[in-house]
Amino acid sequence: MMTDDNSNVQVNPQTLTPNPALKNLGLFVGKWNVELAFPAHPSAIVRGQAAFEWLEGGAFVVEQWGDSTWIIGPDDSTETYCTLYHDGRGVSRVYQMSLSDGLWKMWREAPGFSQRFTGTFSEDGNTIRATWEKSSDGSHWEHDFDLTYTKVR
């Protein structure tokens, strides 16, 4: 039902048609153990758990990890996805993302702080080994940290 001011828009999630471009993101859905390793402090491993779930009846995928949220959706005009990020520090960012042949990539080009992520799925799809890099000028990149996702269920 819609009103003139759009304040009472209601959508029934059961009537939404899942976007076929999200089908391959089903690889992510489930619970994952996550380990972060920082090159500057190799003995300081951060451990946590991430959950990937379908949102809005298959219109998006959402990842919850610690105090961060990632919302992934397709861009129908390209072969990429758009990823919205927010965390407990109040940081919000927009990334582009691709997933093809077991290779997961995210990137962000922004003045003063660009980032790129590369993750590789194991053959069985139960492990993702990934690396984040950062750049202050978009040309010179430095290794930021590594992640390993291990699927729990």
| Intervals of the chain under pLDDT 70 | 1-16, 18
CA distance 135 to 117: 12
Which helix (H) or strand (E) segment holds residue 47: the answer is: strand 41-55
Q: Which among 139, 86, 85 has a CA at the least distance from the CA of 114?
A: 139
- Residue 16 is predicted with a pLDDT of 63
pTM of structure: 0.84
Counting other chains too, the contacts that 135-138 makes at CB distance below 8 Å and 24 or more residues apart are 136/112, 138/109, 138/114
- Residue 59 is predicted with a pLDDT of 86
- Residue 54 is predicted with a pLDDT of 93
CB 30 within 8 A of CB 64: no
- Residue 14 is predicted with a pLDDT of 56
Task: Read off the tokens for 102.
Answer: 């077991």
- Residue 44 is predicted with a pLDDT of 87
**DSSP code of residue 29:** -
CA distance 134 to 107: 10
- Residue 69 is predicted with a pLDDT of 97
Q: In terms of CATH, what superfamily is 16-151?
A: Calycin beta-barrel core domain (2.40.128.20)
| Residue for token pair 């999630």 | 13
Q: Where are the domains of the chain?
A: 16-151
Q: List, in sequence order, every residue forming a beta bridge with 118; answer none if it has no partner.
A: 105, 131
